Amino acid sequence: MAVNKIFERPVAMRENITHYCPGCTHGVIHRLVAEVLDEEGLREKTCGVAPVGCSVLMYNYMNCDFLEAAHGRASAFATGLKRISPEMIVFSYQGDGDLASIGTNEILHAANRGEKITVIFVNNAIYGMTGGQMAPTTLPNQVTTTCPFGRDTETAGWPIRIRELLSSLRTPAYIARGSAHSPQWIIRTKKYIRKAFKYQEENRCFSLVEVLSNCPTNWGMTPNESTEWIADNMIPYFPLGELKTPEEVDVPTQTMIGKDN
Amino acid sequence: MQREVKFAGFGGQGILSAGKFYGEAGMEEGKEVAWVPSYGPEMRGGTAYCTVVIADHPIGSPIVNNPQDLVAMNRPSLEKFEPTIRAGGFILINSSLIPDRVKRKDVIEILVPCNEEAMKLGNNKAANMIILGAYAQCSGMLKLESIIDIVKTEFQRKPQFIDSNIACIMRGAEIAKREMENKN
Amino acid sequence: MAKKLMKGNEAIGEAAIQAGAMHYFAYPITPQTEVAEYLARRMPEVGGVFLQAESELGASNMLFGAAASGKRAFTTSSSPGISLMSEAISYITCAELPCVLVNVCRAGPGLGGILPSQGDYFQATKGGGHGDYRLLVLAPSTVQEAVEHIMQAFDLADKYRNPVMIFADGLIGQMMEPVDFSTIKKGKPADHSSWAATGAKGREPHIIKTLYLQAEENEKHNIHLANKYKKMDIEKKSEIYGGLGKPELILAAFGTSARVCKTAIDQLNEEGIDIALFRPITLYPFDDVTISELANKKHVKQILTIEMNSGQMIEDIRLFTKSIKPIHFFGRQGGIVPSPEEVIAEIRKIIRN
Ligand SMILES: Cc1ncc(C[n+]2csc(CCOP(=O)(O)OP(=O)(O)O)c2C)c(N)n1
């Protein structure tokens, strides 16, 4: 009897058990990246850049070359490698503390220079690895160990919307926000990730996919409660969808120069 | 005179606070105290432990590879730390969750069904207090009253829990006393 | 307040408040994060400010800005974070601003691990940032001593208009020990009105800067700083522990490794083996006089330094003793604290030879 295999481990994933807490969606997002690398045949020419955060050990789970960056510097690491080896596919995978706090400078300038890299930005509204401190994406009034009375927008500002912030740059890019809280959105997010890698392969532009993610442990919730919390609290503030594609052409560069002179 | 004890279990069993209460009681009795937690990568495996050193002289190295006594609240803790205990020490086993028994012959095993007893006393979160009472009785380093005083101050803001926690400590001490008498 | 059983990190936060430091800027990093978590709750109670910076780069430059007011401010971090702060440390030292930094040292290099280490000794005592600068560096070995050092650090920072670093490690940050704040003499914040940025009402503007484009001018400033560092020499402090009168071996260790040595010494002294400990309490300035006197004693045959690194303080011991006696090294790395048993074994090996 012929057996039809309908589900298997992507070649781009190793046979290792992850260290993630039960219910954490980092594993799901790793898998989406791995499936895309498999399906697009990119694995053998890809190098990932791991952040400092819960996903620092991502290289133990992915079956491709990997660098481990300093905290916040993954997109700079990726830039360096991509510039010296433009034939490679280079992606960074970063949390919200890593990318949106300590690494804002690096990500802003990588995007602005239009580095042909792909960034997977995992937004779980908290610092997971260090035990639940406030992130730049922590929601107003959300309680963390460093905002024990809830995030006060008077002193901590409002959560940073990275998708929107980077989309405002003039340099062409592909920028989208997906989410790992529901099967529908996991499928949609995979499409975004595929597009992001395709744009890089075609040497078109910088690409970034933000993925809303959970942290049951530090949010103090069950996994189910945490995915509901994404739907009820995060998505209203962090709307999902593509915000910028390189096809959008606004003011032609020529006239801009003319105007400035 | 110095005595060290390792409190070990999984996260959420109140192991670190049991150790802290014990340390605070030691401090109130004028002893030198060091409470050293595990904070390394081993925490990810789900086991949590702390070592409490009580001494009547300034404590040198707070890291003790071979403590005198062990309080094991779950099975991995017993497996991992039984071999490290110094000969003649106590090994307290939470028999509600650990079916195994001590393999060594040179230590004193004390069985305490912590979860069951806490449940019986109507405070199923206080299994750690049962074992704390039991350990205080075994070690004989500190007075039970000092530990009870600490419970009173620690739960100042949640006075509804004071009585049941004290009851658990007394119960633990009672069980340990009986266990020790049976051994003699 | 009576004695309280406190985690080193929390005690450090409380000590700073009691020393009158109401402004704290930091970024989370293990094993230091509890300072920030404690102060996130505590600062609002005392009307102070806790600001979680976007990075250690941010935190340390906020500290520069805050210190320019002449008021007491501080930051805490752990090794990789201190590396990022090294830029600001160089600037703050050049601008002669008083402030306090705490390094709850973890194992490096690189991302390393989160367990205790003394691997940043060079960074703390010899630089890390650029240029000719020095920090006063205090190395506590208990939680109580960490509290005392924090309080002294603000006074020293005021006295010399220089940043002071508390060089602790992950063990001191994470462990709980009884602390007593009431026994500590509290200094008073100094009057910094002659230089602080407070608004030029009725006076000439105060400029706080580090740029000296003219070589002569820059040299003059560097000489001024160097003279100040020389003056700091009187702050050097150390402890001699144990021994039976004529120690044949001197252990040299600071912070956590010194505690381990004390346990080893207690045991060996009891056996009649005469060894003693030299524990520098200030790492900069280093107590060169005491260690050199010890090394020159006839009965002292050898020196053994014990560190949680691959041998950093040993270079200072060699320097200050002119290697007049054989100097040995034993260390554990990667986050491992040497055990008293290991130290004893090492000692036996050395005195047998
Ligand atoms: C220079 C430096 N500062 C601080 C840290 C400590 N640190 C490690 S991970 C992390 C934040 C992780 O949060 P996030 O990026 O949101 O990822 P998550 O763990 O939530 O996936 C911090 C602050 C560090 N390793 N290096």
pLDDT tens, residue by residue, C99-136: 999 999 999 999 999 999 999 999 999 988 999 999 99
Contact between residue B90 and residue B139 where contact means Cβ atoms under 8 Å apart? yes
- Which residue in A52, A66, A106, A146 has the most chain C C-beta atoms within 10 A of its own C-beta, making it the best mutation to test that interface? A146
Mean pLDDT, chain A, integer? 94
Q: How many CB atoms lie within 10 A of CB A112?
A: 14
Using one digit for the tens of pLDDT, what is the confidence trace for C249-277?
999 999 999 999 999 999 999 999 999 99
Using one digit for the tens of pLDDT, what is the confidence trace for B8-65?
998 889 999 999 999 999 999 999 999 999 876 655 556 789 999 999 999 999 999 9
Measure A97 CA to ligand 1 centroid, in angstroms: 6
Q: What is the pTM of this model?
A: 0.95
Using CA atoms, how far residue B30 sits from B16, B51, B142, C233, in Å, is: 21, 19, 10, 37
Q: What is the pLDDT of residue B39?
A: 75
Is the per-residue pLDDT at C83 higher than 60? yes
Q: Kindly list the structural domains of chain C, giving each domain's residue range(s) and its CATH number in brackets, ordered by start.
A: 4-234 (3.40.50.970), 241-352 (3.40.50.920)
> Between residues 61 and 100 of chain B, which touch chain C (CB distance below 8 Å)?
61-63, 65
Q: What is the pLDDT of residue B11?
A: 81
For the four alpha carbons of C264, C173, C100 and C185, in that order, the dihedral sign comes to negative
Looking from the CA of residue A26, the nearest atom of ligand 1 is 21
Ligand 1 in reach of A96 Cβ (< 6 A): yes
Q: Is C5 on the interface with B (CB under 8 A)?
A: yes
Looking from the CA of residue A124, the nearest atom of ligand 1 is 20
In C, which residues are within 8 Å of A101 by CB distance?
27, 54-55
- The CATH number assigned to the domain holding B13 equals 3.40.920.10
Contact between residue C242 and residue C265 where contact means Cβ atoms under 8 Å apart? yes
Measure C55 CA to ligand 1 centroid, in angstroms: 10
Question: B: neighbours with 3+ CB pairs under 8 Å?
Answer: C
Ligand 1 in reach of A160 Cβ (< 6 A): no
H or E segment and range at residue C7? strand C4-7
Q: What is d(CA C85, CA A101) in angstroms, rounded to the nearest whole number?
A: 16
**CB pair distance less than 8 Å for A56 and C111:** yes
Using one digit for the tens of pLDDT, what is the confidence trace for C147-201?
999 999 999 999 999 999 999 999 999 999 999 999 888 888 899 999 999 999 9
Q: Distance (Å) from the C-alpha of residue A53 to the closest C-alpha of chain C? A: 11
Question: What ipTM goes with this model?
Answer: 0.94
Q: What is d(CA C274, CA A19) in angstroms, rounded to the nearest whole number?
A: 49
Is the per-residue pLDDT at C1 higher than 60? no
Backbone angles phi, psi at B65, to 5 degrees: -75, -30
Is the per-residue pLDDT at C332 higher than 90? yes
Closest CA in chain C for residue A73: C55
Measure C169 CA to ligand 1 centroid, in angstroms: 19
Burial of C157 (0-12, 13-18, 19+ CB in 10 A): buried
Q: Kindly list the structural domains of chain A, giving each domain's residue range(s) and its CATH number in brackets, ordered by start.
A: 26-242 (3.40.50.970)
**Given 3-state DSSP classes, what are the helix, strand and coil percentages for chain C, each rounded to the nearest 5?**
45, 20, 40
For residue B77, what are the domain limits? 2-183
Q: Which of C25, C60, C53, C29 is nearest to C39 (CA)?
A: C25
Q: How many domains are contained in chain B?
A: 1
Q: What is the pLDDT of residue A74?
A: 98
Question: C: neighbours with 3+ CB pairs under 8 Å?
Answer: A, B
> Between residues 24 and 43 of chain C, which touch chain B (CB distance below 8 Å)?
30-31
Q: What is the pLDDT of residue A5?
A: 86
Residue of A52, A104, A147 lying closest to C40 (CB–CB): A147
